[in-house]
Every structure is written in structure tokens, then in C-alpha cells.
Amino acid sequence: MEPILIYHNGVCSKCHGALEILQEKNIPHKVRFYVSEPFSKDELKGVLTLLQINAFDLVRTRELLFIEKFEGKQFTEEEWMDFLIENPSLIERPIVINGNKAIIARPPEKLFQIL
């Protein structure tokens, strides 16, 4: 069985919460620090497919960067993916993947839905 993959932002309390759950339950997992190791476009497309959402649905719309640069503007799916890759702080988190299932674990306990 493949370990669970958690896309983690080191400064995010929800990411830390999800990681703590995995550690406390002794669930094999890998951590991917997506800010320092950005998504490739193919990888992001794969994550969006697993989550069954489009790129805009992964955007943190309350982030100052979004408000200042993107709010109220229309972009294509490809453009949103490029913006997320270029600005990983805009990505909703944590993303947890278990095989062919994925979830945005907000709150962290939501990850139990895919265990």
C-alpha cells in the first residue's frame, strides 16, 4: 500500500493538525512541502482531478495576494493553474491523497473521510 501523501505548508496550522493525526494514528505518510517544491502543471492537474474540482476552487480567496491581484477578474482554467504554481500560498490546504482519493483537510479531521 502506498503511503498517504500530504501536501503541506510549513506555516499552516491546519496542515500541522492533519499531519499530527497521521502521526498519532501511525498511518504511513509522505510529506510534500509544496511551497519549496512547487507543483508541476501535470501534478496539479492530477490533484485537481482527484479532488474533482477546478483550479479556481483550490484558490484561497481571502489571501491578500488574491484580493490585490486576482479578485473580480476572469481567467481560464490554464491561467488559474499557472497562477497557483507561481503563487503556492494561494493553494488551499492541506491536500491529503490516499490512493485515488483526495480531500482538502479543512478541518484536519476531514482526512478521516479518505482513510
Exposed/middle/buried for 37, CB within 10 Å: 0-12, 13-18, 19+? exposed
Exposed/middle/buried for 88, CB within 10 Å: 0-12, 13-18, 19+? middle
Per-residue pLDDT, averaged over 24-43, amounts to 96
> Residue 57: pLDDT above 80?
yes
Total tally of structural domains belonging to the chain: 1
> Residue 65: pLDDT above 90?
yes
pTM for the full predicted model: 0.93
pLDDT recorded at residue 32:
96
pLDDT recorded at residue 58:
98
CA 37, chain centre distance (Å): 13
Q: What's the domain range around 81?
A: 4-114
**Residue 92 contacts by C-beta under 8 Å, 6 or more apart in sequence?**
58, 59, 60, 104, 106
Residue 84 confidence class, pLDDT cut points 50, 70, 90: very high
Residue 7 phi, psi (nearest 5): -85, 115
15 is annotated as an active-site residue: no
> Residue 1: pLDDT above 80?
no
Mean pLDDT score across all residues of the chain: 96
Report the C-alpha gap between 68 and 51 in whole angstroms.
27
Active site residue: 5, 12, 31, 51, which one? 12
Q: Let me know how long the chain is.
A: 115
Q: Could you tell me the CATH number of the domain that includes residue 76?
A: 3.40.30.10
